[in-house]
């Protein structure tokens, strides 16, 4: 088995046992990235010091020094997370030259455990998209078929892992942006409970929804990364004080005594036959593993997308006000054409620096927050959000986890939905509600469509009940044994 075919757990073990050197591992993934990035555009920026850092790890190990559990293993970081000394763009022109002076808490913890940041992955601009087509740095492509999207907004992270350009990646999930691309690219993606992972140093899109999570080849890999990046952080007042369990050590495919709920609203019209078939098979696997299947209802599901696109755009309108071209980021060429006044200065910087989708969402949010409309839109959305959360709490009185499709269809073709914002937004119908309720969710590979495109299965749990969710994913993974499947582009 070649280096790039190994998963995170195998690579960590090999480094710790001195069977592989970090330099060899890092070089293998850098070589794969050099070969495939022109085809996939999964990375925006590579870490030029990755090999140097890998050699440092090898020296420490050779000297007998104690190293972290992720020592010497490269991990890709979504360009939404600040990385000290490495350009961080959020996929936007307005941050084309931004090099942070500090790293996000997630990156600090990964590097503190010995991991090496291999590069910054492509994404929808400011995480606003479901296909990684809105990035200022070009479209990212699905490794399973380059005519298709990899999902979004963490499409670059999903594509990089799927194409063996990194053994592991970090994404962010505001309305499904870890789970949906994991679903489209045939990998595991986990969104922890809101507050489980610090948001410090993550470029803010919608602060009450954003959460970073791991994307990898196996449930165990993702559980391991969750253990590293989770925990209270005084720099993020929303981070929870919950203890961090040893999820990876407690994984089991024995689901006896576990109740799995099937929300009837997630199996309505519009779900493709391919997706239905894959999800039904996952349900049968869970039954065979001992789980009891029960029917539940989430009656406000149909309002999830509308509520999400009000709450998220309102928060985005506020968060993105800081990008004005004064202190950092893109600034228009005022030497060639001086600004008429302050309004002209701001409007030109922001008008030229933001892409069309970001401008659309800023305008939607600004409108909904404006005088005379706040109560009718934002306040009402927050009230419905509370009721939607209660729907989930009621459902979890009848079951331990929920199982559903991650999306209504497999990946769609590049350009197919980009001109139809409503159709694109509806792509998130099965993922946004999880963020609105602050729940953990994940996507685990469940099979393939008739066109050989990956299809994932979504699993959701109650707040801070990630272990139950991970165990269901682990049982499905063990039964199907899809972790070694590779896209054609890799061969």
Give the residue numbers annotated as catalytic, written as ranges.
Answer: 78, 153, 177
Ramachandran quadrant class, 270 (left: phi over 0; alpha: psi -120 to 50; beta: rest): left
**DSSP assignment of 52-117, as one string?**
HHHHHHHHHHHTT----TTTT-EEEEETTB-BTTB---TT-GGGTT---SS--HHHHHHHHTT-EE
Please name the residue that has the structure tokens 């140093």.
201
How many CB atoms sit inside 10 A of residue 96's CB? 13
Interior/surface letters 34-50, b for 16+ CB within 10 angstroms, e for the rest:
eebbeebbbbbbbbeeb
Listed in order, strand segments (DSSP E) in 303-453 are 401-405, 441-448
DSSP reduced 3-state for 216: strand
Alpha carbon distance 265, 298 (integer Å) = 7
Contact present, 213 and 173 (Cβ < 8 Å) = yes
Contact present, 82 and 117 (Cβ < 8 Å) = no
Alpha carbon distance 90, 174 (integer Å) = 14
Contact present, 183 and 454 (Cβ < 8 Å) = yes
């Amino acid at each position: 088995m070649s280096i790039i075919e190994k998963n995170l757990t195998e690579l960590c073990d090999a480094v710790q046992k001195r069977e592989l050197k970090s330099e060899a591992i890092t070089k293998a993934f850098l070589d794969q990235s050099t070969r495939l990035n022109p085809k996939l555009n999964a990375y925006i920026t590579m870490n030029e010091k990755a090999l140097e850092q890998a050699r440092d790890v090898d020296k420490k190990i050779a000297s007998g020094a104690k190293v972290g559990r992720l020592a010497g293993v490269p991990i890709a970081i979504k360009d939404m997370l600040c990385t000290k000394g490495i350009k961080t763009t959020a996929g936007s022109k307005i941050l084309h030259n931004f090099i942070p002076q500090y790293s996000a808490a997630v990156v600090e913890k990964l590097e503190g455990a010995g991991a090496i940041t291999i590069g910054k992955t492509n994404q929808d601009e400011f995480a606003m998209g479901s296909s990684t087509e809105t990035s200022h740095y070009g479209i990212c492509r699905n490794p399973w078929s380059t005519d298709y999207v990899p999902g979004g907004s963490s499409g670059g992270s999903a594509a990089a892992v799927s194409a063996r350009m990194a053994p592991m990646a970090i994404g962010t999930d505001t309305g499904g942006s870890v789970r949906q691309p994991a679903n489209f690219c045939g990998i595991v993606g986990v969104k922890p409970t809101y507050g489980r992972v610090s948001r410090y140093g993550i470029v803010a899109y919608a602060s009450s929804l954003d959460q970073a999570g791991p994307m990898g080849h196996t449930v165990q890999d993702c559980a391991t990364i969750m253990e590293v990046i989770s925990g209270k952080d005084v720099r993020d007042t929303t981070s929870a004080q919950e203890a961090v369990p040893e999820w990876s050590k407690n994984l089991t495919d024995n689901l006896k005594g576990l109740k799995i709920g099937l929300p009837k609203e997630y199996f309505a019209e519009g779900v493709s036959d391919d997706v239905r078939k894959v999800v039904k098979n996952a349900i049968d696997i869970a039954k065979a593993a001992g789980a009891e299947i029960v029917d539940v209802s989430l009656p406000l599901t149909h309002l999830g997308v509308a509520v999400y696109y009000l709450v998220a755009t309102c928060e985005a309108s506020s968060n993105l006000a800081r990008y004005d071209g004064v202190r950092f980021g893109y600034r228009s060429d005022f030497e060639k054409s001086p600004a008429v006044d302050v309004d002209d200065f701001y409007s030109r910087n922001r008008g030229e620096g933001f892409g069309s989708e970001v401008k659309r969402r800023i305008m939607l949010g600004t409108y909904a927050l404006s005088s005379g409309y706040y109560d009718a839109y934002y306040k009402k959305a927050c009230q419905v959000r509370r009721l939607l959360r209660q729907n989930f709490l009621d459902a979890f009185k009848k079951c331990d986890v929920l199982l559903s499709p991650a999306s209504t269809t497999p990946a769609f073709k590049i350009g197919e939905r980009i001109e139809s914002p409503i159709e694109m937004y509806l792509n998130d119908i099965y993922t946004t509600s999880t963020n609105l309720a602050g729940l953990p969710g994940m996507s685990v590979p469940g099979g393939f469509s008739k066109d050989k495109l990956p299809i994932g299965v979504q699993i959701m749990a109650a707040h801070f009940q990630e272990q139950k969710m991970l165990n269901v994913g682990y049982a499905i993974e063990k039964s199907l044994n899809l972790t070694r499947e590779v896209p054609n582009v890799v061969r």
